[in-house]
């Protein structure tokens, strides 16, 4: 069912506060050109002050490097992230079902990210499609474990509906893992 939350009642207060912060700040740093445009638009930054909003792109730590792939019996599709609706994980589950139908080789989906009981849709979709035996739900992984996970994946997938930057895409690429993203 649809979950409700009392937080939306605070949105007007939050928006007013952030608009005030934007008006008073000498400089605003953000992680991407996309986020920069959003900040300018949503905080109402005047065109003459748009130069005060600066994009400083994210980078990855030096340990995110390609490694020799360990080719197992299965192809490994990887998702790293949360389960918030904008991350579109139920659509990833549906896409994975289609991959399993069409792929001649065995394929497994590995999902790395903290479980969130507010968003049970992905797990419910996996169960409805009978995919549970082919999906590994890993939860939180250490930084070292995450690097190895990226390095061992055959492909990284992010079907997010919106990202300000998409750091996981950069991390996967830095590890030499092909990326499929929306």
Tell me the pLDDT tens digit for each residue of 162-173: 988 889 999 999
- The C-alpha angle with vertex 30 and arms to 26 and 32, in degrees rounded to 5, equals 140
Kindly report the pTM of this predicted structure: 0.81
In which band, very low, low, confident or very high, does the pLDDT at 7 lie, cut at 50, 70 and 90? low
Distance CA 162, CA 81 (A): 13
Residue 5 confidence (pLDDT): 53
- Confidence at residue 150, expressed as pLDDT on a 0 to 100 scale: 97
Q: Are 139 and 112 in contact (CB under 8 A)?
A: yes
Burial class of 77 by CB neighbour count within 10 A (0 to 12, 13 to 18, 19+)? buried
Number of C-beta neighbours around residue 8 at 10 A: 9
Chain centroid to CA 77: 14
Both tokens assigned to 74: 């299965």
| Nearest to 112, CA basis, from 75, 149, 154 | 149
Distance CA 148, CA 141 (A): 10
* pLDDT tens-digit series, residues 11-59: 888 888 888 988 899 999 998 899 999 999 999 999 999 999 999 988 8
Q: Phi first, then psi: what are they for 109, rounded to 5°?
A: -105, 125
pLDDT digits (tens, 9 = 90+) for 63-122: 999 998 777 789 999 999 999 999 999 999 999 999 999 998 999 999 999 999 999 999
CA dihedral of 67, 68, 69, 73, whole degrees rounded to 10? -150
């Amino acid at each position: 069912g649809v979950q409700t939350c009392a937080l939306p009642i605070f949105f007007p207060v939050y928006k007013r506060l952030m608009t005030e912060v934007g008006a008073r700040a000498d400089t605003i740093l953000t992680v991407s050109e996309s986020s920069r445009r959003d900040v300018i638009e949503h905080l109402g930054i005047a065109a003459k002050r748009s130069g005060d909003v600066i994009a400083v792109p994210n980078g990855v730590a030096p340990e995110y490097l390609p490694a020799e792939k360990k080719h197992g019996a299965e192809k490994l599709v990887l998702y790293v992230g949360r389960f918030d609706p904008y991350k579109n994980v139920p659509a990833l589950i549906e896409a994975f079902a289609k991959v399993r139908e069409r792929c001649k080789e065995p394929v497994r989906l590995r999902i790395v990210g903290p479980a969130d009981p507010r968003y049970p849709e992905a797990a419910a979709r996996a169960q409805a499609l009978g995919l549970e035996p082919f999906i590994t739900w890993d939860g939180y992984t250490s930084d070292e474990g995450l690097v190895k996970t990226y390095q061992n994946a055959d492909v990284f997938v992010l079907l997010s509906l919106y990202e300000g930057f998409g750091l996981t895409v950069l991390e996967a690429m830095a590890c030499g893992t092909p990326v499929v993203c929306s």
